[in-house]
């Protein structure tokens, strides 16, 4: 991780996140800030659900050194910025908002899962 960029919120596109998922460079996590119902319709495989309104601790298995990719419904989803600010408050070193959210992910023809998540 380049310490020069510590604590800054970045933006990236769905294609870049897909590339990262194919050639993972841990530690990073994809946080889906959409509702449970939205996630049950379709989601990025391996993404973690994060409630932006109540994000007061790092999700299990992550910490301040984890690079977080935030996915919302679309480019207007305010939950993405809310989660980014919450992660910055927790002192996350690198937060990346995925521009266009899951809508852009699907438009680009990138793979997604549907159905209920395992408990």
Q: What is the pTM of this model?
A: 0.88
60 belongs to a structural domain:
yes
9-62 pLDDT, tens digit each? 899 999 999 999 988 777 799 999 999 999 999 999 999 999 999 999 999 999
Number of folded domains in the chain? 1
Structural domain contains residue 39: yes
Nearest Cα neighbor of 84 from 18, 10, 19 is 10
* Spatial distance between the Cα atoms of 80 and 75, rounded to a whole number of angstroms: 9
The per-residue pLDDT for range 60-79, each reduced to its tens digit, is: 999 999 999 999 999 999 99
Can you give the CATH number for the domain in which 60 is found?
A: 3.40.250.10
Q: Answer yes or no: is 112 within a domain.
A: no
Separation CA 12–CA 69 (nearest Å):
9
117 in any annotated domain: no
Domain-embedded: residue 103? yes
Q: Residue 113 falls within a domain, yes or no?
A: no
Question: Which domain does 38 fall in, by range?
Answer: 3-107
């Amino acid at each position: 991780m380049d310490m020069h960029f510590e604590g800054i919120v970045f933006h990236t596109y769905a294609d870049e996140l897909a590339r990262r998922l194919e050639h993972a460079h841990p530690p990073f996590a994809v946080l889906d800030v959409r509702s449970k119902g939205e996630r049950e319709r379709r989601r990025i495989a391996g993404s973690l659900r994060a409630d932006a309104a109540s994000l007061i601790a790092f999700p299990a298995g992550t910490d301040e050194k984890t690079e977080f990719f935030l996915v919302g419904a679309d480019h207007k989803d305010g939950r993405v910025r809310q989660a980014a600010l919450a992660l910055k408050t927790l002192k996350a070193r690198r937060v990346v908002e995925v521009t266009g959210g899951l809508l852009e992910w699907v438009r680009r023809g990138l793979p997604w899962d549907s159905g209920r998540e395992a408990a």
